[in-house]
Chain A
Amino acid sequence: MLLVSGILFCGSVWTYVATQTGITWNLSPVGKITPKEWKEE
């Protein structure tokens, strides 16, 4: 019972913290970021 509650508590807290709090994890842009023109004409 402690195991299940531990999994749920830990999982939910960290999922929230990792995704919703605005913390930057600085993941690799490869495959995620679409490059945008940087040169100012």
Chain B
Amino acid sequence: MSPFSALRVAGLLARRGVAVNISVRAAHGHEISKQEDMSLPMYWDRKDTPLPDIPFQKALTADQQSLKQKELGSWKNLSEEEKIALYRLAFNQTFAEMKKPTQEWKTVVGGVLIFIGLTGLVVWWQRVFVLPPQPHTLKEDWLAAQAKRMIDMRINPVEGFSSSWDYEKNQWKK
């Protein structure tokens, strides 16, 4: 199998989310759903493969067969409904139907946010049961005294901490 077609099949499988596993089938015996024979050409609705390997409907009724016969003649003789019927025999979805946006992203983002929310609960639990008591150096008045000392020492006066302090008005710069 050339690398290109192997990649293509992998890509198709990844997009469809289909996991066809022959060994699984053998282990379970008769399956309820019929599995496709992956060694034969398959029909896919894909924007980048506008003409699939096989038509959508392979087994035709008598009516459909007579329509296919009519198709062999001049197409001017076909009515609108017949043309559409022939299209639907060959293709499953139109390009417009293929391109239609799904609402999948909402499900994905919602799921992600729920798990992040669960993480928040975990953090809360950790705060209650794991973290040690806060050091006294993080209390309000300690931080206030610390800030005043840093300002008095002119810590980072050019672009840093003390540069945000207005020494004339004795307050933080607005």
**A residues neighboring B (CB under 8 Å):** 1-7, 9-10, 12-14, 16-17, 21-24, 26, 29-31, 33-38
| B:109-150 near A, CB below 8 Å | 109-114, 116-117, 120-121, 123-124, 127-128, 131, 134, 138, 140-141, 143-149
Given known A-B contacts A26-B138, A30-B161, A31-B172, A38 and B145 have beta carbons under 8 A apart: yes
Within the complex, the shortest CB–CB distance from A40 to chain B, in Å, comes to 10
- CB of A10 within 8 A of CB of B114, answer yes
Residue contact B149 to A38, C-beta cutoff 8 Å: yes
Q: Which residue among A22, A23, A30 has the maximum number of chain B CB atoms within 10 Å of its CB?
A: A30
Q: Which residues of B contact A4 (CB under 8 A)?
A: 110
6 contacts between A and B (CB under 8 A): A6-B117, A10-B120, A14-B120, A21-B127, A29-B147, A36-B145
| Nearest B-chain residue to A5, judged by Cβ | B110
Q: Which of B123, B128, B134 contacts A24 (CB 8 A)?
A: B134
Q: How many B residues touch the partner, as a band?
A: 20 to 34
**Is B66's CB within 8 Å of the partner chain A?**
no
Q: A37 touches which one: B128, B138, B145, B172 (CB < 8 A)? A: B145
Q: A3-B110, A13-B117, A36-B145 are in contact. Are A31 and B138 (CB under 8 A)?
A: no
Q: What is the predominant secondary structure among interface residues of chain B facing chain A? A: helix
Q: Is the CB of A33 within 8 A of B124?
A: no
State the CA gap A2–B171 with chains docked (Å). 48
B106 at interface (Cβ–Cβ under 8 A)?
Answer: yes
* Contact yes or no, A13 B120, CB < 8 A: yes
CB distance from A16 to the nearest CB of B (A): 7
Q: A16-B124, A21-B124, A30-B172 given as contacts; is B112 within 8 A of A37 (CB)?
A: no
Measured CB to CB, the closest approach of chain A to B25, in angstroms, equals 33
- Residues A9 and B148 in contact, CB atoms below 8 Å apart: no
Verify B147–A3 contact, CB threshold 8 A.
no
Known interface pairs A3-B107, A23-B127; A10-B117 also in contact (CB < 8 Å): yes
Closest B residue to A31 by CB, please name it: B172
